[in-house]
Amino acid sequence: MAKYKLEYIWLDGYEPVPNLRGKTQVKEFANFPTLEELPMWGFDGSSTRQAEGHNSDCMLKPVAVFPDSTKKNGALVMCEVMMPDGKTPHRTNARATIHDDPDAWFGFEQEYFLYKDGVPLGFPKGGGFPPPQGKYYTGVGYDAVGCIAREIVDTHLDLCLDAGINHEGINAEVAKGQWEFQIFGKGSRKAADQMWIARYILMRLCEKYGVDVNFHCKPLGPDVDWNGSGMHSNFSTKHMREVGGKSYFEALMNAFDKHKNEHIAVYGPDNHLRLTGLHETQSIDKFNYGIANRGASVRVPHSFVNNGYKGYLEDRRPNSQGDPYKIASRILQTIATVPTK
């Protein structure tokens, strides 16, 4: 038997975006615990905007477990927040709203800025700007990426791979101090669970560098020529991959158009600052799609058309602060309105 350090992680009740919370429970197991072996736990919901003070207990239900290679016998346990009965999902539990579909696949491209002393890494401390965007994207050298960012993003990648998170890649982004990683998962909740744990690992790693992860979609504001951050959401269902067809695709895009406001509502706050029609975006009040068009709301990969309108689509509107649970939930809800007969 060994004592395992189980970090129970959940999303709090803050609006418009939840924060990650975590606390450690020590328990003995013969081997690395399976999900079934992990008990439910409780927390004080009045401290996380999830309950009133007089009746403040909420429950944590483990839904995914990952090895934590930063610790001896460590585990990261993603949890859903439940009511005291342990069965009813809490109103803040967006994961519970995701239609369960093992054949729904999502790929999220998370962009973010690393910040130190209130400015992106590599920006002059006393104010002002570094040379304009151009050579930062996928760049190399101190001039392009500074000195600690590479260590942070490479360590983050290793820790995520150790945890079994299905990272597909990382890259330096268009703005100085801006980075991206991509996670892909099969199953309607898989990539979203892994995204929240990857965010947790990144934020925790950055603590020791005195660096903050800034997930805001336009941290430098709308008036300067610096890119914002998105979380492009690539998705496919079994029907899209195996049957597809032009008329199904067009019906799907009509449904996305019809529900565009409901989509925008869960695609992250302040998105009007980012979805302006500039910097490879469509404006927030419009919906369109385009083949290989990075200025569209939904980009249709060349491969999709070449395969007879089969494959995956990229919704480019979700932003870097969006909750992947809410995004996946909404996308599947809209897809479900389109007949597949």
Could you list the residues that contact Mn ion (CB under 5 A)? 109, 180, 232
**3-state SS, residue 24:** strand
**3-state SS, residue 68:** strand
Looking at the chain, list the stretches that DSSP marks H as alpha helix, in order from N- to C-terminal side: 142-145, 149-162, 190-207, 238-242, 246-258, 260-265, 302-306, 324-335
Task: Rule CB under 6 A: say whether 109 interacts with ligand ADP.
Answer: yes
* Closest distance to ligand ADP from the beta carbon of 113 (Å): 17
Q: What burial letters (b/e) apply to 156-166, b meaning 16+ CB within 10 Å? A: bbebbeebebb
Nearest CA-CA partner of 189 in 309, 37, 79, 32: 79
Structural contact between residues 42 and 86, judged by C-beta atoms closer than 8 angstroms = no
Task: Rule CB under 6 A: say whether 107 interacts with ligand ADP.
Answer: yes
Which residue's entry shows tokens 């992680």?
9
Q: Cβ closer to Mn ion: 96 or 331?
A: 331
Binding segment for ligand ADP among 6-14, 116-124, 260-268, 311-319 (CB under 6 A)? Answer: 311-319
Q: Cβ closer to ligand ADP: 235 or 249?
A: 235
* Closest distance to Mn ion from the beta carbon of 227 (Å): 9
Task: Rule CB under 6 A: say whether 249 interacts with ligand ADP.
Answer: no
- How many residues touch ligand ADP (CB under 6 A)? 15
Structural contact between residues 78 and 7, judged by C-beta atoms closer than 8 angstroms = no
**3-state SS, residue 79:** strand
- Window 204-233: contact mask with ligand ADP (x via CB under 6 A): ----------------------------x-
* Closest distance to ligand ADP from the beta carbon of 280 (Å): 10
Q: Which of 227, 236, 297, 321 binds ligand ADP (CB under 6 A)?
A: 236
Task: Rule CB under 6 A: say whether 168 interacts with ligand ADP.
Answer: yes
Could you list the residues that contact ligand ADP (CB under 6 A)?
105-107, 109, 168, 182, 184, 232, 234-236, 241, 311-312, 314
